[in-house]
């Protein structure tokens, strides 16, 4: 995927991830931007304070609506996504809920894909649906299903691609075109956590917002929690001053913003390694006699392979698979790993394995998991940055143990 010209895209991806928005001359020569550890900001006069609160002039007033450290991070995320603006949050769920509360109201219709991260699924079904918003599940890997479900009052179409945990892909450009033609005021929002803007930029493909659990690849080291939304300036203003400041208060700390910016400096390098190792391991897993089926878009056998080549730079660091023997075989595999850690989350330097049905996606009922393609025996691997030969050895011995 070539870099395109446009807002904040005059330099390459890695250059912007490292340099965007900061001149050491603005910080007494400090190469690394300082962390602003303050909750409030002083005004030079009452008139100055009034103008800042009225948003008639730029400036900071209270850290719930922004700070210099967080603004710098937001500018970098916006640049990487090719967006006009971004808003940072204390967690990925903070980003999702604040965005949705900001753009939806009672009487609206929301279409969500059938496969979402468990807490996202719970929010839409147990949270948003209680407040007069109609939430409709749609199998979005076929864009025709989206067209059939659209109505004039559809306000939001929301999905992940690749989907967590079963790696289904959705054609962003096709769905965005369908949604915008059917309901011009409808927003299309894509959870881009699995890909990061290095592999996929939803806004370039017609989406209105790209959301992230920054906790994952953007942070990259498993030592922070954060979230983000990127989109137009007008939309992000609504998200910041309504969704964040008034509805959720899910404010990112200055220190965590600093840690995310440290992670962004190596994002391109890390994602290249995650992707290359995952593709190598996926090919090995696919050929192992213990494996019933594997879900990874980089394999030519994947039904999503051609779509992945069109809308992704590479195929990502996430692998899902099912073993012969179902859940019991999956337990044997997960109990047998030695280098790989049994833990939820993803995008860390460490390779992680988990069981979605009993962990991240237990908010789905067994009937819903069966209907939406989350098998009871599904195992999810987040491929880390370890030496590839060591990963191959550990995964292979664990697959051998699962087959016994």
pLDDT in tens, 299-310: 999 999 999 999
Residues 108 and 256 in one domain: yes
Does 20 score more than 70 pLDDT? yes
What is the pLDDT confidence band of residue 359, given thresholds at 50, 70 and 90? confident
Question: With pLDDT > 90 as the criterion, what percentage of the chain qualifies?
Answer: 88
Does 338 score more than 70 pLDDT? yes
Q: Any idea of the CA torsion for 396, 386, 199, 321, to the nearest 10 degrees?
A: 20
Does 81 score more than 60 pLDDT? yes
3 state SS of 33: coil
Residues 275 and 216 in one domain: no
Residues 210 and 313 in one domain: no
Residues 34 and 63 in one domain: yes
Query: Residues 108, 113, 171, 191: which is the catalytic one?
Result: 191
Residues 297 and 246 in one domain: no
List the structure tokens of 171: 């054609």
List the structure tokens of 45: 């006069």
Residues 25 and 107 in one domain: yes
- Please confirm, yes or no, whether 117 is among the known catalytic residues: yes
Q: What residue spans of 323-371 are helical by DSSP H?
A: 326-336, 366-371
pTM: 0.93
3 state SS of 163: coil
Per-residue pLDDT tens digits for 102-140: 999 999 999 999 999 999 999 998 889 889 999 999 999
Choose the final residue of a domain: 210, 234, 264: 264
List the structure tokens of 226: 């954060």
Q: Any idea of the CA torsion for 91, 369, 190, 310, to the nearest 10 degrees?
A: 130
The better pLDDT of the pair 312, 373 is held by 312
- Asked, for residue 180, whether it belongs to a domain, the answer is yes
Query: Residues 76, 216, 273, 369: which is the catalytic one?
Result: 216
Smallest CA-to-CA distance from 192 within 70, 80, 300 is with: 80
**Measured between alpha carbons, how far is 216 from 225 in angstroms, rounded to an integer?**
8
Q: Are the CB atoms for 175 and 159 separated by under 8 Å?
A: yes
Tell me how many helices (H) and strands (E) the chain has.
Answer: 15, 12
Does 231 score more than 80 pLDDT? yes
Q: What is the CATH number of the domain that holds 106?
A: 3.40.640.10
pLDDT for the residue 400: 96
What is the rounded average pLDDT for all residues in the chain? 94
- Per residue in 218-253, is it b (16+ CB within 10 Å) or e — as a string? bbbbbebbbbbbbbeeebbebbbeebbbeebebbbb
Residues 370 and 336 in one domain: yes
Mean local confidence (pLDDT), 329-343: 94
Q: What is the CATH number of the domain that holds 395?
A: 3.90.1150.10
Domain count, the chain: 2
**DSSP 8-state symbol, 39:** S
3 state SS of 89: strand
What is the pLDDT confidence band of residue 372, given thresholds at 50, 70 and 90? confident
Choose the final residue of a domain: 232, 264, 296: 264
- Asked, for residue 312, whether it belongs to a domain, the answer is yes
Mean local confidence (pLDDT), 394-403: 96
Query: Residues 61, 62, 64, 362: which is the catalytic one?
Result: 64
Question: With pLDDT > 70 as the criterion, what percentage of the chain qualifies?
Answer: 98
- Please confirm, yes or no, whether 64 is among the known catalytic residues: yes
**Measured between alpha carbons, how far is 93 from 150 in angstroms, rounded to an integer?**
25
pLDDT for the residue 6: 38
pLDDT for the residue 5: 35
Apex 398 CA angle, 394 and 401, nearest 5? 145
Does 7 score more than 60 pLDDT? no
Mean local confidence (pLDDT), 235-245: 96
**Least confident residue range of 71-75, 178-182, 189-193, 321-325:** 321-325
The better pLDDT of the pair 339, 10 is held by 339
What is the pLDDT confidence band of residue 374, given thresholds at 50, 70 and 90? confident
pLDDT for the residue 4: 39
Smallest CA-to-CA distance from 238 within 103, 352, 339, 139 is with: 103
- Please confirm, yes or no, whether 217 is among the known catalytic residues: no
The alpha carbon dihedral of 106, 112, 114, 118 has a sign of: negative
Residues 330 and 350 in one domain: yes
Does 1 score more than 70 pLDDT? no
- Asked, for residue 199, whether it belongs to a domain, the answer is yes
- Asked, for residue 6, whether it belongs to a domain, the answer is no
Query: Residues 60, 109, 117, 270: which is the catalytic one?
Result: 117
| Domain housing 156 | 13-264
- Per residue in 38-51, is it b (16+ CB within 10 Å) or e — as a string? eeebeeeeeeeeee
pLDDT for the residue 9: 58
Choose the final residue of a domain: 237, 264, 291: 264
- Asked, for residue 8, whether it belongs to a domain, the answer is no
Q: How far is CA 102 from each of CA 18, 69, 140, 241, rounded to the nearest angstrom?
A: 31, 24, 24, 9
Contacts of 97 by beta carbon, 8 Å cutoff, 6+ apart:
123, 127, 243, 247, 248, 250
Residues 104 and 236 in one domain: yes
List the structure tokens of 311: 């809308």
């Amino acid at each position: 995927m070539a870099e395109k010209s446009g807002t904040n895209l005059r330099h390459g991806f890695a250059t912007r991830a490292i340099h965007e928005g900061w001149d050491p001359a603005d910080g007494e020569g400090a190469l690394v931007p300082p962390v602003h550890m303050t909750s409030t900001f002083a005004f030079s006069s009452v008139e100055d304070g009034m103008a800042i609160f009225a948003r008639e002039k730029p400036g900071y007033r209270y850290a719930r609506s922004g700070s210099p450290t967080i603004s710098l991070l937001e500018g970098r995320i916006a640049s990487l996504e090719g967006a006009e603006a971004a808003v940072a949050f204390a967690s990925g769920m903070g980003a999702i809920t604040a965005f949705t509360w900001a753009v939806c109201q009672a009487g609206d219709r929301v279409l969500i894909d059938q496969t979402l991260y468990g807490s996202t699924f719970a929010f839409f079904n147990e949270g948003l649906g209680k407040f007069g918003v109609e939430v409709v599940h749609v199998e979005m890997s076929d864009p025709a299903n989206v067209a059939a479900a659209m109505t004039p009052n559809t306000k939001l179409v929301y999905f992940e691609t690749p989907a967590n945990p079963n790696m289904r892909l959705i054609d962003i450009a096709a769905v965005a075109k369908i949604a915008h033609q059917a309901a011009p005021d409808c927003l299309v929002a894509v959870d881009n956590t699995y890909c990061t803007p290095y592999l996929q930029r939803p806004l370039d493909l017609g989406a209105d917002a790209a959301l992230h659990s920054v906790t994952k690849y953007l942070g990259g080291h498993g030592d922070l929690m954060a979230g983000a939304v990127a989109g137009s300036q007008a939309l992000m203003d609504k998200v910041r001053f309504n969704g964040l400041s008034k509805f959720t208060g899910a404010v990112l700390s200055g220190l965590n913003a600093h840690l995310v910016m440290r992670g962004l400096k190596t994002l391109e390098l890390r994602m290249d390694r995650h992707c290359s190792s995952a593709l190598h391991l996926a090919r090995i897993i696919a050929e192992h006699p213990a494996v019933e089926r594997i879900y990874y878009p980089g394999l030519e056998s994947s039904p999503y392979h051609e779509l992945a080549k069109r809308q992704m730079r590479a195929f990502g660091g996430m692998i899902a698979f099912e073993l012969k023997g179902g859940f019991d075989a999956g337990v044997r595999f997960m109990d047998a790993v030695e280098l790989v850690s049994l833990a939820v989350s993803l995008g860390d330097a460490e390779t992680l394995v988990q069981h979605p049905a009993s962990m991240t996606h237990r908010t789905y009922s067994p009937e819903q998991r069966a209907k939406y393609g989350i098998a009871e025996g599904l195992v999810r691997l987040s491929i880390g940055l370890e030496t590839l030969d060591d990963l191959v050895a550990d995964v292979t011995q664990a697959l051998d143990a699962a087959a016994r």
